[in-house]
Amino acid sequence: MAKLNDLLKEMAEDIPGIFSVSVIGMDGLGIAHHSTSSDFDIEATNAQFALVMKLVQKSTDQINDVMEDGVLTAEDMYIMMRFIGDSSFFLGITADANSATLGNVRLVTRQYSDAIWQAIPKRK
């Protein structure tokens, strides 16, 4: 898990304004995360992200397509989710809308997603 945590920290350093980045299973449980805010409720956020991803996965299955990433824009925050690997896990990212750019968030998550997938311990 140390390699996974190191990758998330490195990824976070490449995204100005990031609040958190997590690797989350479709069950809503995070297996690794990095946060720049001590008062950020990562467990609650991960559970909510999983609900959204399940709905998105169901919708894309119905139209025979695959989701690359999804972005929610709030007044002060960007929220991005990206399936990784076999779609049993996804990245959940939150960033300050005033200092982050969506293009950079998408670029960085795309660059790191394969390495993060490879660092996830696989079940046998």
Annotation: CATH topology of 2-119 = Beta-Lactamase (3.30.450)
d(CA 117, CA 71): 20
Q: Which two tokens stand for residue 48?
A: 């909510």
Residue 8, SS3 per DSSP: helix
Q: Which of 57, 58, 103, 98 is nearest to 75 (CA)?
A: 98
pLDDT for residue 90:
93
Contacts of residue 16, defined as CB under 8 A and 6 or more positions apart, other chains included, come to: 99, 100, 104
- The domain spans of the chain are 2-119
pLDDT for residue 93:
94
10 Å Cβ neighbour count for 51?
A: 10
| 55-103: pLDDT as tens digits | 888 888 888 887 788 888 889 999 999 999 988 999 999 999 999 999 9
